[in-house]
Amino acid sequence: MDWLRNLGIKPTLGSPHTPLLGFETTGGTVDDPEYTKAAVSTPAGHHISCETLWLQSAPSAEPDYVSTSVSRAALKAISAYGRSPEDATRVAREALAIDPRCPEAYNVLATNAAKSLQEALDFYNEGIAQAPLILSESDFERASTEGQAFMVPPMRALFRCVNGAAIVLFKMGRDEESYNMFQRLRKLDDHGYRYSSYTNFRYHLPILLLRFKGVAFAEKYMHRRECSENYTLTSTQCSWVYTQALMDFKKVGRPFFPWHYFTMVRAVEKTAGGRQNEWTDAAQEEICRAGGAILMALQQAPLVMEFLAGERQLPKGHLPITFTGVDDMVQAVAYIHAVGDLWKKTPGAIEWALKCRNVWQSVLMLREVKGYGPYNLEKLKALFAKGGFKLPGLKPQDAYERDLIVFDALACKGATGEVIDFLIQEGGCDVNAADATSFRPINKALYYDRHPSIVQALIRNGAQVPRPTQQEFSPLAMAMNQGNHVALRAALEILPAIASDTAELRSLYMELFQTNCFLCIKGMVPEKCQRCRFEPESPHSKEISFEKCVDVLAEFGLRLDTGLERAAQQEIFHPLQVGLVDRLRMQGKLIARRKKLAGEAVRGVKNLRIGSSGVSGEAARVSGHSSGGSGGAENGAPGKGKKKKKKAVAGAPSCGVCGKSDVKILRCSKCNVAGYCSAECQKTDWPRHKVECKALAAQ
């Protein structure tokens, strides 16, 4: 039906609840404009009236009515469908006046003239009694026993009478009699695809069997091979998946969310034409039969849960004879009208389903699935308040898979450390739970370069971060492997034991000579790295920089000594990696020089009195003053109306970026500390220098 929806056509199916009796209502008392609109949008006509032409032009090989009067009465009765109750009743009585052997007329009277369920049942029983008289005895016997009654035009009247009687008995709570009537229907014609678009009586069987025979008997029937398609047919899916979910709960009293099946049930996005399901029918059937029915139910018919939970009240009005899909309002109201009491009579069932719904929506929001996102922490907290994750009686395997929601939070674009704090501290999720690849959230956060606050929140909440020297695929090494300097810095900032350990920093540095991502990012190899080949949907971070990873290690104290340089040179497998060695050497010199100049500047500011200080000329220059004490603008002191300029200083040790020492050095005009040989070098260092520049300028 999706292809019709995509063309802008709204297909409809006959409601499985037909025949709908004239006096029946939804049972609600609330005016609901959404339901009114949905009910009005269904066709006003009736599909049975279309059978007139078929009856008139039936092939001669088909069994024919025993007399012309019986045929005329049948055609007259069929013309009553689609009329007002008063007109339909009048036409049905006219048909009986033509010939009393007219089961179709009793179908019309049951739906339009009956004032009670018992009166409707009497009409249906009379129609059943008259049915054998419309054909010859041999024709009726053959049509009744070959299992193809719905394909014999005159026999459809009997089929509808038996169906009506079965449903009325079901509504009256006379389950055994109803079951026997449904069994008779199956014998008349058990080929569901023939009549499912008109009236699919299998809609009611799970409910009836659960109520009458119990869970085991109901499941035995539902899991029969010939019944499997009812989990996916538009006419039966709502009833079958929700009733299967109720049976799952009654069977084990399970107070947990079926996470194992959640990994298989992907969310479907709403489109202009409705819902598109990416899963095959066979996959959906297997999920439903194996314990994941509640997820399929929440996915396919979410409105049902709103009515079960009391979040939406049943609207008043009549049930239409058709509906447009599994997830529409009419279908949800019809299911609650038929089965709502069965859910309410099962202690804890609605609460369990509601918690499952809240967990489901929480994860879909974190995954930013269309129709549920974008991520919003307050909305997530509200969902937790309704259901939450701290459910009693969790089995170990369910508690284990429950914690995978943390991984969804890691993948959420808008998430920060706040959501991690909430999931662990309020939601009870395990910060060290492992996924199917045996990696933990901290591994994923550093490998995929998640927000720095997420990295730090995981560590603050107890994430285990093994030392790089003790584990081959340690989280920190994974960050180095991918060039994720931002995440690496965030982790080292709150891991002082590792950040201050030279051996650990050396181990991280050597990871740069093991990764093939380095050359892949540089475009130096024809074959992409493993991540680009196998995870195209998760590209490298835009902030990736292996050079800046070197800078991070240098800032935390790593220096290039002879032993480390020798080890690095032995691991180099491409000339481009030589730059990583030079980078660490240069950073060591730059950091040492920066510390020295910063110290001299601070001392100069504290001790210098312009024009009267005895500090050295170099210290005076560093602090921004001349030894003569003039404090002019060209020396870096605040001048009146003049902009600070870069000052050429001869004899400076070296450029802070490239290390050149045989050229004039230009000081930074703001802090007058950092020195560069050219504007290009200053521009290169500015992203790193701007933080300390502000502090030095303030001093």
SS3 sequence of 13-77: EECCCCCCCCCCCCCCCECCHHHHHHHHCCCCCCHHHHHHHHHHCCCCCCCCCCCHHHHHHHHHH
Listed in sequence order, the DSSP H helices in 463-577 are 475-482, 485-493, 496-499, 502-511, 517-522, 530-534, 546-555, 562-571
Query: What three-state secondary structure class fits 323?
Result: strand
Q: Which of 19-33, 73-87, 263-277 has the lowest mean pLDDT?
A: 263-277
- Cis peptide bond prior to 206, omega within 30° of 0: no
Cα–Cα separations (whole angstroms), residue 568 to 201, 585, 658, 676: 75, 12, 21, 28
pLDDT at 415 over 60: yes
Cβ neighbours of residue 54 under 8 Å, at least 6 residues apart? 153
Q: Residue 615: count other Cβ atoms within 10 Å of its Cβ.
A: 17
102 band by pLDDT with thresholds 50, 70 and 90: very high
pLDDT at 606 over 80: no
Q: Are strands 270-271 and 274-275 parallel, antiparallel or unpaired?
A: antiparallel
**What is the structure's pLDDT at 269?**
36
Residue pLDDT, tens place only, 508-545: 999 998 888 888 888 777 778 888 888 888 888 888 99
655 band by pLDDT with thresholds 50, 70 and 90: confident
pLDDT at 548 over 90: yes
Cβ distance 141 to 196 under 8 Å?
no
Most confident by average pLDDT, 58-67, 80-89, 424-433, 686-695: 80-89
Q: Which of 3-7, 254-258, 373-377, 522-526 has the lowest mean pLDDT?
A: 3-7
pLDDT at 651 over 50: no
652 band by pLDDT with thresholds 50, 70 and 90: very low
**What is the structure's pLDDT at 641?**
46
Average pLDDT estimate for 233-247: 87
359 band by pLDDT with thresholds 50, 70 and 90: confident
- Fill in the amino acid letter for 559: R
Cβ distance 571 to 513 under 8 Å?
yes
Average pLDDT estimate for 372-379: 80
pLDDT at 91 over 80: yes
CA angle 386, 387, 393 (to 5 degrees): 150
Residue showing tokens 């039906």: 1
pLDDT at 268 over 50: no
Q: What percent of the chain has pLDDT over 90?
A: 26
Mean of pLDDT over the chain: 79
Average pLDDT estimate for 202-206: 87
- Fill in the amino acid letter for 194: R
Cβ distance 204 to 239 under 8 Å?
yes
C-alpha torsion angle, residues 247, 248, 249, 251 (rounded to 10): 80
CA angle 541, 546, 547 (to 5 degrees): 130
**What is the structure's pLDDT at 54?**
61
**What is the structure's pLDDT at 576?**
82
Cβ neighbours of residue 224 under 8 Å, at least 6 residues apart? none
C-alpha 135/C-alpha 71 separation (Å) is 10
C-alpha 558/C-alpha 540 separation (Å) is 26
Cβ distance 377 to 419 under 8 Å?
yes
- Beta-strand runs (E) in 174-216: none
Residue of 563, 539, 560 lying closest to 551 (CA atoms): 560
Sheet strands side by side (includes 665-667): 648-649, 665-667, 675-676
Average pLDDT estimate for 122-127: 96
